[in-house]
Amino acid sequence: MTRRRPSLAVVGATGAIGGVMLQILSQHADVWGEVRLLDSPHAAGRKLVVRGEECEVLPLGESAFDGVDVALFLVPDEVAAHWGPVAAARGAVVVDDSASFRLDDDVPLVVPEINPHAARIRPRGIIASPNCTTLSLIVAIGALHAEFGLRQLVVSSYQAVSGAGRDGVAALRAQLSLVAGTDLGTSPGDVRRALGEGDSPFAAPVALNVVPWAGTDAGDGWSSEELAIREECRKILGLPDLKVSATCVYVPVVATHSMSVHARFENEVAVERAHEILATAPGVVLFDSPASGDFPTPSDVVGTDPTWVGRVRQSMDDARAIEMFICGDNLRKGAALNVAQIAESVAAEFHRD
C-alpha cells in the first residue's frame, strides 16, 4: 500500500445520521482525501457543509463509487443491501450502519473499543456497525467482560424516539403539542386522538406513555430489536453461548438510549474493581454517586460521544452479578460515531507503508 489520504463517500448524507456524520468529519482529525456526498436522486443537488467547505450531494449510482476507497452507508436496510455490494465490487471498503449485513458470517461486526482487529478480515469488503441499542451498552459491557468473563445479560431498554428515525421524533412532537396545556390527568385520550392525526412509527402513543415494542415480529413473542441485541452482543464479544434476555421499550425521549442491565459473570465481581475498570475504559464515563444526584440520564448524555455508566451495584443475591444503568447517544456512538471510528481505522491502513 502507498501512503496517501484515502477518498471517502458518505451515502445518505442528507439523513439524520448523515448530518451527524458531517459534523464528526468536520470535528475529528482529517484523514481523508476527497469526501464525496451521495444520496438518492431526489436529494441530489443539495449543498451541505463538510470540513468547512460546501459540497454538492451527488446521486447514488454505480459510477458514483469510482475512485472511492471507503464508502459509509447511512441508509435504510434495503438501500444498503443493494448498493453496499455494488460499492464493494468497485473496490471501496464499505462501512455499513444498516442491519443488512450485521449477522453475515463473512462480514465483521465492529466496535473499535472492543474488537478493532475484526475490521481487517472482511471477505466481502464490507464491515458492519451494530444496532444503536447494542452500541448503547456494548462498550461498557465489553470492558467488564474483559476482566470478569461475561455469562449472562438481562437488559431492559428505555429507547429514544429518534431510534425510529425522523418519523419517531415527529410523532412525539405532534403528540406533545396536542397535550400541551391540557390537564395531564386526562391526557391519555388526547394522546390517542393525536395518533389518528398523523403517521407514527410506534404501535401506541409515545407521549406520556411507554411502548414495549421495537422493530418487527421475530416470532415466539420477541421483537426484532430484542433479538438483534442478543445476536450482536454474542458476535461482537465472540461469545456464541452468551445468555441474553432483552426487552426493548420506547420512551418519550428525543435522543439517547438508556439501558437497565443485570450482568452475570464467570468470576466474582467486586464493585470497586468494576468502578476502576469503567472509570478508565476508553469511550466510557463513570458517573456514579446517586446519593449526590450523580447518575446518567439522557439529558446529561445527549450530544456527547461516550457511553455513560452509573447505578453500579452488586446483586444482593449473587457475588458474580452486578446491576447498572447505561446511557449512550443513539445518533452519535449509537450510529455515526461508531461508523466514523471504523472508517478511520480503515484509513489508517492506507497511511501505513
What's the grid cell of residue 248? 426493548
Burial of 2 from C-beta contacts in 10 A (0-12 / 13-18 / 19+): exposed
Cα–Cα distance for residue pair 60/37, rounded to 1 Å: 9
Q: Residue 26 and residue 208: Cα distance in Å, rounded?
A: 37
Q: How far is the CB of 309 from its own copies (least distance, A)?
A: 11
Does position 249 interact with its own copies (CB under 8 A)? The reply is yes
> 60 or 211: whose CB is closer to its own copies?
211
Respond yes or no: is residue 132 known to be catalytic: yes
x/- mask, its own copies, residues 214-243, rule CB under 8 A, reads: ---x--xxxx------x------------x
| Residues 302-321 as x/- pattern, contact with its own copies by CB under 8 A | x-------xxxxxxxxx--x
Single-letter amino acid, residue 6: P
The residue assigned the cell 469503567 is: 278
Residues 274-293 that bind its own copies (CB under 8 A): 288, 290-291, 293
Catalytic residue among 145, 233, 257, 327: 257
Among residues 262, 304, 305, 344, the one that binds its own copies under rule CB under 8 A: 262
- Interface residues for its own copies in 143-172 (CB under 8 A)? 152, 154, 156, 158, 169, 172
Number of residues that this document lists for the chain: 353
Is there binding between residue 87 and its own copies (CB under 8 A)?
A: no
Nearest 5°: phi and psi at 324?
-150, 160
| Contact criterion met (CB below 8 Å) for 161 and 253 | yes
- Comparing CB distances to its own copies, the nearer of 35 and 255 is 255
Q: What is the distance between the terminal CA atoms of the chain, rounded to a whole angstrom? A: 6
Residue number, 122 or 264, with CB nearest to its own copies: 264
User: Residue 87: helix, strand or coil by DSSP?
Assistant: helix
Burial of 183 (0-12, 13-18, 19+ CB in 10 A): exposed
Contact positions toward its own copies, by CB under 8 A? Answer: 152, 154, 156, 158, 169, 172-173, 176-177, 179-181, 184-185, 187-188, 191-192, 203-205, 208-213, 217, 220-223, 230, 243-245, 247, 249, 251-255, 258, 260, 262, 271, 288, 290-291, 293, 295-300, 302, 310-318, 321, 323, 325
Tell me the catalytic residues: 132, 257
